[in-house]
């Protein structure tokens, strides 16, 4: 993700939900890479792949919302 390093570092230290979402996004990304490197997926793995992509997107949207709120409060 393209977040400003200083903002990301501060939120990782101070914002529990942000830290949790970043970890969820990273874990989903790692599992997706594993699945995408397989030659063939089972039906269950194909469903998991779709669900992981959705989870990553939800986490990313919430992460950017938190960053946006942080930047608004910092700019005031």
Residue 2 has pLDDT above 70, yes or no: yes
pLDDT tens-place string over residues 27-73: 999 999 999 999 999 999 999 999 999 999 999 999 999 999 999 99
Number of helices (H) and strands (E) in the chain: give both, helices first. Answer: 3, 0
Q: What is this structure's pTM?
A: 0.87
Boundaries of every domain in the chain: 16-75
- Residue 72, pLDDT score: 93
Tokens of 47: 């469903």
Angle (CA) 68-72-76 rounded to 5° is 170
């Amino acid at each position: 993700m393209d977040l400003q390093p200083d903002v990301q570092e501060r939120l990782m230290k101070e914002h529990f939900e942000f830290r949790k979402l970043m970890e969820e996004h990273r874990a989903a990304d790692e599992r997706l890479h594993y699945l995408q490197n397989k030659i063939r997926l089972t039906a269950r793995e194909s469903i998991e792949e779709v669900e992981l992509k959705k989870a990553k997107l939800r986490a990313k949207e919430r992460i950017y919302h938190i960053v946006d709120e942080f930047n608004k409060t910092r700019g005031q």
